Amino acid sequence: MKGLYATAVLRKFALLCHAKGRIFYEFTSKFTMIENYEAIIGLEVHAQLLTATKAFCRCSTSYSLSPNAHTCPVCLGLPGALPVLNSKVVDYAVKMGLATHCSIREYSVFSRKNYFYADLPKGYQISQYEDPICHHGYIDIEVGEESATKRIGITRIHMEEDSGKSIHDVDIDTLVDLNRSGVPLIEIVSGPDMRTAREAYQYLNQIRQIVMYLGICDGNLEEGSLRCDANISVRKKGATEFGTKIEIKNLNSFRNVEKAIEYEIKRQVEAVESGQILMQETRMWDAGTHQTKSMRSKEFAHDYRYFPEPDLAGVSVSEAMIAQIRQSMPELPLARKQRFVSEYGLPWYDAGILTETQSLGTYFEQCCQSLGEQTKERYKLVSNWIMTEVLRYLSEKGIGIEQFPVSPSHIAELVELFAAELISSKIAKDIFPDVIGGESPKSVVERKGLLQISDESIILAVVEKILAEQFENVAKYREGKKNLFGHFVSSTLKELGGKANPRIVTKLLQERLQ
Amino acid sequence: MENTQQIVERVAELSRLSFSEHEKNIFEVQFGKILHYIQTIENYDLAAVEPLTHIVTNQSSQRDDVPAECLTVDEALANAPKRNETFFKVPKVLQK
């Protein structure tokens, strides 16, 4: 939609600027050109698994300040050391497979992927090649309009180990830290089913939410616990054959994923339009210059020579094990979002924010369960309260909902006081710091004498006093300066110490001023 | 199909190793023997035989996700030809 709109605006602009039209014409024709093509995008996502130990040895995966503090003969690749598989790696891979509607292979094997690099001490990575543990699944991603979804295929999910880390810019030589060597990963490969950078973004976001809901990965792209490579090709709309596939590496943030794919689509379309023949290659996204750059082909002239890993026998996954893992699965993010809309009557937007993390959604549901009156109006008030006051507090303190000191029942109590017009929204916000301090909202209101004044006779007396004092303004109001009405409301509220029911104040003022 | 000399050169390239012509000739003879031995399998009709990945048919033993003691940093680096503080130090990988 954005593209279409931009094209329309630019075309109009080009017509208006007829004198300088040539430049604008070229500009707009480029946009039109891109519209004649479609992009075919597939993503490969690596997720670092949240296990306590590495995939094939009992070294800790926890963060260490000291390089090479978490190593042993297995992950150093010393001769004679033998790998033993961490059972949790299999559990987590199956979990992800079930969450993405994959078939789980009853028997799968590990393979060696051979390549030479200093941070891969064995000279091969233990991975899965033919017959990965999970295959042929799908996820639904959100596209465009509210609640619309598109199905993206998952070709395969396999288990593998991470390499160490190379540091190129500290010493004249390359430095190697093997703390990460052997940390378990799953690689999730999508089908070539995405057509725009936005869809790729939504796909990655959905994968990230799923691994976080499952508790198998912390989902941090910037720190590399979730890594993403993209395969992109372009073809004329209506064509059935794929164009030349180009792989883009180094997409280490959501912004970079979208930007790099947009850049690459445009680059490929321009290349094809100018008659170039694209060669299959690997390119790196450079976040500094906002370009993709070819990696010298020799660096990636890999011939991995995969073969079955002789040091590890196959992995069996029984029906019983699958059933057990299936039982431990949480409700997944998109399903929960859809349920929040249908069950609590929330707008799609609210549901999206509240299901962003699993714990926030749980907190919302606990608040709702604590409400005395179970209505959609009250649920929406809880949602409003969480999305504004609670989230603001969390972001100010830089904490998660898990560390939020207010119990769900206190939030429910606050919402009910407000909904029953016992306190105004202003008072509700004013007493929030006391509630954060641990006091119940009812007790704060009683202690400070903040119950809302809804007694019409008390409010009317003050309304009459204000209108008498401000007789000049009243005259101006009656002559047509209608915006003085707000001033009368705020004066009355102020006189009553902010405790008057604003709805009744407004009603009485309207009656008196008629 | 690559000839034996090409295979030797390709494997050397993938391993980032360089050999003299004399060394290549020696490897060519050795590789040739190994490949020839393996090629004898092609004399048999194996259409009905399932590919075998492992001699043992039972599944691999797995372990619980419980950490154990690692090597000390000095033990880990004991055989490193070069080090910088507690890093392994290797020849520059990326060329400018």
CATH number of A456-513: 1.10.10
Q: How close, in Å, is residue B8 to chain A by CA atoms? A: 14
pLDDT at A1: 39
Range list of H helices, A479-501: 485-495
pLDDT number for residue B2: 67
Helix, strand or coil, per DSSP, at residue B58: coil
Mean pLDDT of chain A: 89
Distance (Å) from the C-alpha of residue B76 to the closest C-alpha of chain A? Answer: 7
State whether residue B49 sits within 8 Å of chain A by CB. Answer: no
Lowest-pLDDT range of A206-210, A251-255, A258-262: A251-255
User: What residues of A are in contact with residue B58 (Cβ under 8 Å)?
Assistant: 313
- What angle in degrees, to the nearest 10, is found between the helix axes of A358-370 and A408-419? 50
Nearest Cβ partner for A175 among B53, B70, B89: B89
The 3-class secondary structure across A442-467, one letter per residue, is: HHHHHHHCCCCECCHHHHHHHHHHHH
Q: Is B84 within 8 Å of chain A by CB? A: yes
Interchain CB distance below 8 Å, A116 and B60: no
Chain A: closest CA distance from residue B45 (Å): 22
In CATH, the architecture of B4-42 is: Orthogonal Bundle (1.10)
- B-chain residues within 8 Å CB-CB of A308? 53-54
Residues A97-119 have a mean pLDDT of 94
Distance between CA A143 and CA A92 in Å, rounded? 28
A282 has pLDDT over 90: no
d(CA B60, CA A305): 23
Q: Alpha-carbon distance A148 to A159, whole Å? A: 32
Nearest by Cα to A213 from A329, A89, A327: A329
* Strand order from edge to edge, sheet including A291-294: A103-104, A134-142, A149-161, A184-190, A37-48, A226-236, A246-249, A281-286, A291-294
Tell me the pTM: 0.83
Closest chain A residue to B58, measured at CA: A313
Residue B92 to residue A173, Cβ atoms within 8 A: yes
Q: Both tokens of residue A504? A: 């009744």
Give residue A462's Cα distance to chain centre: 51
Q: Are the Cβ atoms of A313 and B77 closer than 8 angstroms?
A: no
Q: How many Å from the N-terminal Cα to the C-terminal Cα in chain A?
A: 49
What pLDDT is recorded for position A2?
Answer: 43
Task: Give residue-wise pLDDT tens across range A167-183.
Answer: 988 889 999 999 999 99
ipTM score = 0.85
Angle at A173 between CA A171 and CA A177, to 5 degrees: 80
How far does chain B reach from its first CA to its final CA, in angstroms? 36
At residue A31, the pLDDT reads 58
The pLDDT of residue A75:
97
Q: Which of A66, A84, A174 sits opposite B61 (nearest CB)?
A: A84
Give the E-state strand segments of A194-279 in sequence order.
Answer: 226-236, 246-249
Identity of the residue in B15, B53, B89 whose CB atom sits nearest the CB atom of A173 = B89
- Stretch A271-293: mean pLDDT: 89
Query: Taking a C-beta distance cutoff of 8 angstroms, is the pair A152, A102 a contact?
Result: no
Q: Is the pLDDT of residue A146 over 80?
A: no
Q: Output helix, strand, coil percentages for chain A, rounded to the nearest 5.
A: 45, 20, 35
Q: In chain A, where are the structural domains located?
A: 43-228+303-319, 333-444, 456-513
Shortest CA distance from B88: residue in chain A: A176
Neighbours of A113 (CB within 10 A): 20
- Give chain A positions within 8 Å (CB) of B90: 118, 173-176
Q: Taking 90 as the threshold, does the pLDDT of residue A14 lie above it?
A: no
pLDDT digits (tens, 9 = 90+) for A459-472: 888 888 999 999 99
In chain B, residues with a C-beta closer than 8 Å to the C-beta of A88 are 64-65
Taking only the tens place, the pLDDT of each residue in A304-345 is 889 999 999 899 999 999 999 999 999 999 999 999 999 999
Contact call for A58 and B77, based on CB within 8 A: no
- Whether the per-residue pLDDT at A299 is higher than 50: the answer is no
Using the beta-carbon criterion (under 8 Å), do B14 and A53 form an inter-chain contact? no
Chain B positions touching A312 (Cβ under 8 A) are: 60
* Chain A residues within an 8 Å CB radius of B66: 52-53, 58
Residue spans of chain B under pLDDT 50: 96
Task: Check CB contact under 8 Å for A71 and B60.
Answer: no
- Picking from A69, A118, A173, the nearest residue to B70 by CB comes out as A69
